[in-house]
Amino acid sequence: MKMPLNTDIKAIVRSSLNKSVASLLIKVMAAGLTYVMFVVLSRSMSEVNYGQFAFGFSLATILAIGASMGQQIAILRFWPEENGNNNPKKAHEALRSGWAIVILASIIISLTLIFTALVGGVIGDGIFSFLYIIAAASLILPLAMAEYGGSVLRAQESVWIALTPRDVLWRAGVPTIVVILLFYGVELNGSEALLLSAVILSFVMVIQFFVAKKIGFYNSIGFSSLKNYWNERGKISLWFFISTVLDTAALNVDIILIGLFVAVESAGLYFNAFKTAGLMTLFMWAITLVIAPIVAKHYHAGEIKKAQAVTTFCAWAGFIFSVGIFIIFIFFGDLILSLFGDTYANGKTILLLLSAGLLVDAATGPTRIVMMMTGHEKAYVAIFGSIMLAGFVCMLVIIPIYGVLGAAIVNMITRIIAQSAIAYWAKKKIGISTTLWGFWTSSKEIIIKNK
């Protein structure tokens, strides 16, 4: 006997909630450990050294996402899509080829950055003034491995094994080693902190790879099928690549521009404010880690109402959490920032501006995931990319004049416009409302629009 649709949807949402709670637990631990990591580093280093670490960390993050070549999103779509079409061979091919692309691209980008830093050192003030850039290059491959390796396991509906190595083990390992070194009188500079982060992350990602295989998840690296995979999936992967670079740039480019146009010390202050504001998106991010393959599965099976139910649940859960954190920031933002050091408490205004943009982000729901998983990556890049590019141009003008305050205002306005635009497009063209108002979108309306 066929299960009634409403009961079926409740089961899907309940399953998503259970996995989201597990994902949230890990992300809460990750948020706490991330704070501990940055607080320990901030208090153990001078403002200049910490600024160099923040600059290098943000640069490595953007380049690592570039090195992932969109494969961390591709596998979330192709794995359930191919298995849903009873074609596990192609699903395995996509996974193996994705690993090959990530490794090759990471090596090329890392070597390019090192070469650029060496040339800059020869032309400028000497190699030693660019050591933190060289150290940042060592973090690119581990970060790219973490991005793709986690997505590989999430595509196979793993949560704990997918997230624990980077979100818990790495973030606990770095401050632990730093504290031990401080106990013996060893203080790290920005370059050494970046190198330490790279070594520990590399170690835990190698462990994750082999543990996942041992447990029974499919995880393999292969170059033999790379050409066929790229010929068939390369164009789509490039759109995924552009979208992920845009998203990461939106989270990190401000810090890099502040480091270039203002001072590395200011980059450290903005870095701490932005990482703190990012706590608002904790639950939303935890849920999207779970629902991405679920949305892809139901959408491509023509089960639009189920995809809508999961999306709306995600929007409301994420927004309610974000509002609670935003209220805490209003009353205790300066106290929270002071954990990094007394001078960083002055960043409360920056924190609230960035948080306001992220609050609207939460209200518009998982727009990016819905567009990526439903085959509308080109539209996402066109809409989000054009608005982000306009914001980037504004920052080039505003940051040299108004510093971190100008950067925060431009970031807030750009994010609000971009998220509202893509949410409107998703409802109009895909037929799935990603916002809080998804509950009031009728199934009849959705199906008609999807056709």
Q: Which residues of the chain have pLDDT under 50?
A: 1-5, 442-451
Residue type, 4: P
pLDDT of res. 35: 80
Residue 449 to residue 248: CA distance in whole angstroms: 31
pLDDT of residue 31: 74
Residue listed under structure tokens 């510093």: 403
Which tokens belong to 271? 């870095």
123, with CB counted inside 10 A (0-12, 13-18, 19+), is exposed
Whole-model pTM over 0.95: no
Give 33's contacts (C-beta < 8 A, 6+ positions apart): 167, 168, 171, 172, 175
User: Which tens digits make up the pLDDT trace of 34-50?
Assistant: 888 999 999 999 889 99
What does the alpha-carbon distance between residue 5 and residue 30 come to, in Å, rounded to a whole number?
37
* Own/partner pairs, 86-94, CB within 8 angstroms, 24+ separation: 92/218, 92/220, 93/222, 93/225, 93/228, 93/229, 94/229, 94/233
Q: Is 174 exposed, middle or buried (0-12, 13-18, 19+ CB in 10 A)?
A: buried
CA–CA distance, 316 with 284 (Å, rounded to integer): 9
Tell me the one-letter amino acid at 360.
Answer: V
Cα(232)–Cα(400) distance, rounded to whole angstroms?
Answer: 45
Residue 397 burial by Cβ neighbours in a 10 Å radius (0-12, 13-18, 19+): exposed
Sign of the Cα pseudo-torsion (167, 418, 60, 276, in order): negative
Q: Are 279 and 27 within 8 A, CB to CB?
A: no
Residues contacting 434, CB < 8 A, separation 6+? 311, 315, 364, 365, 366, 367, 370, 423, 426, 427
pLDDT recorded at residue 447: 42
Would you state the torsion angle of the CA atoms of residues 294, 295, 297, 300, taken in this order, to the nearest 10 degrees?
180
pLDDT of residue 440: 59
Cα separations in angstroms, 162 against 27, 139, 286: 12, 19, 12
Q: Quick one: which of 399, 383, 1, 62 has its CA closest to 251?
A: 62
- CA pair distance 400, 406, nearest whole angstrom: 9
CB neighbours (10 Å) of residue 153?
23
